[in-house]
Amino acid sequence: MEDLRVFFTKENHDLIEQAANVRIKDVNVINVLLGIESVPFNQGFYAVDETFFFDVSLDIFCPQSPCPSQVHGIATACKRVILFGSEGNVKTFASGSSTSPDVEPFTGKVLPRAMCQVSEPIGLSSKVCRSPQCCDCGVKIPDSICSLYGGEFDYTMTRTVYVTIGLFIITQLVRTVTALVPTYDFCMPEREIQPTSDSPREMFRRLEFPENDFFPPKVSDYSEPAADSKDQNA
């Protein structure tokens, strides 16, 4: 994911405006929002929209400061994938669950569940530059994420920080299916098992004498494999 814009809270406005250079330190995935809808004219296929929210830790270098200042910001990225999720006409309800089955409006189709697994992201590069004129980012950070940073984010900075992040993702569609498992009745023993003695001597007496361990192999034991090898060479 290349050149993702990083957003900062208003309290970091002056620090970003004075930044001469930035260095990415760490990246973490905060949340992934998933949306799913059926693909027209492709029966059984669904489009999954994924919105990633990254917590980005940066070192900010300013000309008047000898040491960098560490700040945290938010970077977002969007991705769309099309996967096969089959079709289902059965709605599943479970006790103790407040969520209802996902049903697509207008069509009434029962949608599969979208799941996304993400690895630990890797911060590859970062840069700071002047924001392009008349640039409307069109990004709105959810209030649930804003509360983690203690305030609203500033979208009007004249300088912008961009980062490049490496991330491995597995996206899948999941449906609840019925599996038929054969079952069998309990088997009752037809005869009584005789108890055995716990004496080590009695157990040793039941062991067969290891005759082969006391006699080395004879010549005839080696001649047969040798004859077979001669036949193969011929």
pLDDT of 27 higher than 90: yes
Torsion of CA 138, 144, 147, 149, to 10 degrees: -60
DSSP 8-state assignment for residue 154: E
**DSSP line for 67-132:** S-EEEEEEEEEEEEEEEE----------TT--PPP-B-TTT--BPPEEEEEE---EEEEEEEEEPP
Tokens of 185: 């009745």
pLDDT of residue 234: 47
pLDDT tens profile 52-74: 999 999 998 888 878 888 999 99
pLDDT of 182 higher than 90: no
Closest to 55 measured CA to CA, from 39, 42, 71, 67: 71
pLDDT tens profile 67-115: 888 999 999 999 999 999 888 777 777 666 656 667 766 566 778 889 9
pLDDT of residue 215: 67
Residue 49, beta-bridge partner list: 35, 80
Residue 101, beta-bridge partner list: none
**Residue in the structure block whose two tokens are 């940066």:** 58
- Is 61:127 a contact under the CB 8 Å cutoff? no
Tokens of 48: 């999954």
Helix (H) or strand (E) holding 61: strand 45-61
Closest to 14 measured CA to CA, from 160, 157, 161: 157
- Is 172:85 a contact under the CB 8 Å cutoff? no
Which residue type is seen at 233?
Answer: N
DSSP 8-state assignment for residue 140: -
Average per-residue pLDDT for the chain: 80
Residue 32, beta-bridge partner list: 52
Most confident of the ranges 123-127, 141-145, 198-202? 123-127
